[in-house]
Copies of this chain bind each other. A is one copy, B any other.
Amino acid sequence: MNKIYNPKREDWKDVLRRPTQTVADIEGLVNTIFEEVKTSGDSILKKYTQEFDKVTLENMLVSDVEIEKAKALVSNDLKSAIQLAKSNIEVFHKAQKTGRVAVETARGVSCWQEKRPIQKVGLYIPGGTAPLFSTILMLAVPATIAGCSEIVLCSPPDKEGQLNPAILYTANLCGVTKIIKVGGIQAIAGMTFGTESIPQVYKIFGPGNQFVTVAKQIATKHGVAIDMPAGPSELLVVADDTANASFVASDLLSQAEHGIDSQVILVSTSKTMINAVEKEVALQLEELPRKEIARQAIANSKLIYVEDDQMAIDLINEYGPEHYIVCVANEDFYIDNTQNAGSVFIGNYTPESAGDYASGTNHTLPTNGYAKQYSGVNLDSFMKSMTFQKITKEGIQNIGNAVELMAEAEGLQAHKNAITLRLKSL
């Protein structure tokens, strides 16, 4: 871990620099696969599944029988845990519902705003060693609350052509309408254009490796929206002497085990705490199954000592952490003054992993400093707001002249004329 004491403001940019993202030059490959999928549909998806996932699939669509089998394979304990998490996520995301906003801006001029669901959404869930069923909870639960009518899930099959039972169980539990066994660039292309098996969707959500990340970027060029740009996961902890060094170390390590490019930062006004956390990290690291990954992430991590809270908050706002744990006596100062963060975890008993799984907040959050301008996934991510207006004869008389003047000043005579004709008719 790199200890940095009192970095100067002009050095913050360097101190806070994130690990270089290793998005290789794969745009060419992505463009090729997109073209092929657009032209050939399912047949090319199967070809790539054979090539990348080493399995030949007759049918990519998961059947009811497969779902029933999967249900039997998930332990009752895990089912209960998933149900508890689902319930908390539902409560928090249902609370985010907003009603119609209606005002009469001038007499006879009624304007209102309503949110309506994005009808078709696609969720991408990566394959690999860890079956990320928690991400299904985070995406399918709000999609269902929003009222999306088509919720498509794509995930790459294993060499037996199967998806992990926990994936199927959770997807079925959370209202996913169609599950397709396909992964990688070809899955994103399939949801972008639609194929015989995959419905075309309007917005694609979910994490993935660099191939999926680039494919999602390219998808936006073809009229599809995405949840947010991706980057390595990251955690910043601010802690003073009231924090528990062992807890803080466990949080830093839980972030570090995600990947070697994960970013982990401790900011503290206490050198004692910095030293204590450093020791605890070294101790706990040895016990982890994924210690080789965590060790590399920790090697790049930073323990930053600053002299006071104001300096700390300025530095934190400059960074804009995805996950942000606040373990300090004067927590209100940090809560009130944080401008840029994805999700904030407050106090000694609020580890990041609570929010990753089961507290109810969403774990799909802006990385890479994007907390400065992007929201984490929330109910509104699955809706779009539309405006409506209805103007009476009195209303057009109240605002008509202003519109005529402004349209004329902008040189748009036909805009003016649409008002003039109506005013003259009255």
Q: Does A312 contact B (CB under 8 A)?
A: no
What residues of B have a CB within 8 angstroms of the CB of A117 in the complex? 339
Asked if A359 and B225 sit within 8 Å, CB to CB, the answer is no
Determine if A405 and B78 form an interchain contact, defined as CB atoms under 8 angstroms apart: yes
Contact A395 B349 (CB under 8 A): yes
- Flag A340-376 by CB within 8 Å of B: 1 or 0 each: 1111111111111111111111100010111111111
Contact B133–A410 (Cβ < 8 Å): yes
Q: Are A417 and B254 in contact (CB under 8 A)?
A: yes
Question: Please, which residues of chain B bring their CB within 8 A of the CB of A369?
Answer: 223
- Whether the pair A223, B109 counts as a contact (CB closer than 8 A) is no
Q: Which of chain A's residues 400-414 have a Cβ closer than 8 Å to chain B?
A: 400-403, 405-407, 409-414
Residue in A111, A339, A413 with the greatest tally of chain B CB atoms within 10 Å: A111
A132 at the interface (CB under 8 A from B): yes
In contact, B109 and A359 (Cβ under 8 angstroms): yes
- With beta carbons under 8 angstroms apart, the residue of B106, B357, B401 that contacts A406 is B357
Contacts of A361 in B (CB 8 A): 111, 387, 389
Residues on B with C-beta less than 8 A from A354 are 109, 389, 391, 396, 399-400, 403, 419
Contacts of A89 in B (CB 8 A): 105
Contact A96 B106 (CB under 8 A): no
Q: Is A358 within 8 A of B119, CB to CB?
A: no
Residues of A within 8 A of B (CB): 77-78, 80-82, 84-85, 87-89, 91-92, 95-96, 98, 101-103, 105-106, 109, 111, 113, 116-119, 129-134, 166, 202-203, 220, 223-225, 229, 244, 246-247, 250-251, 253-254, 256-258, 284, 287-290, 294, 335, 338-362, 366, 368-376, 378, 380, 384-393, 395-396, 399-403, 405-407, 409-419, 421-422, 425
If A229-B220, A250-B417 touch, does A389 touch B355 (CB 8 Å cutoff)?
yes
Taking the closest CB of chain B, its distance from the CB of A292, in whole angstroms, is 12
**Bound-complex Cα distance A92 to B344 (A):** 31
**Closest Cβ of chain B: how far from A328's Cβ, in Å?**
13
This chain: copies in complex? 2
Residues of B within 8 A of A106 (CB): 84, 88, 359-360
Q: What is the chain B residue whose CB lies nearest that of A225?
A: B373
Q: How far is the CB of A41 from chain B (nearest CB, A)?
A: 16
Q: Which of A116, A117, A421 has the most CB of B within 10 A?
A: A421
Q: Is the CB–CB distance between B392 and A118 below 8 Å?
A: no
User: Which residues of B have CB within 8 Å of A113?
Assistant: 92, 95-96, 378
A133 near B399: Cβ-Cβ < 8 Å: no
Nearest CB of chain B from residue A196's CB, rounded to whole Å: 16
Jot down 24 A-B pairs with beta carbons below 8 A, ordered by A. A81-B405, A92-B103, A96-B101, A96-B113, A105-B360, A109-B354, A130-B410, A130-B411, A130-B412, A131-B410, A134-B406, A254-B417, A258-B412, A289-B411, A343-B387, A344-B389, A347-B390, A350-B391, A350-B396, A351-B418, A356-B403, A356-B407, A357-B403, A380-B385
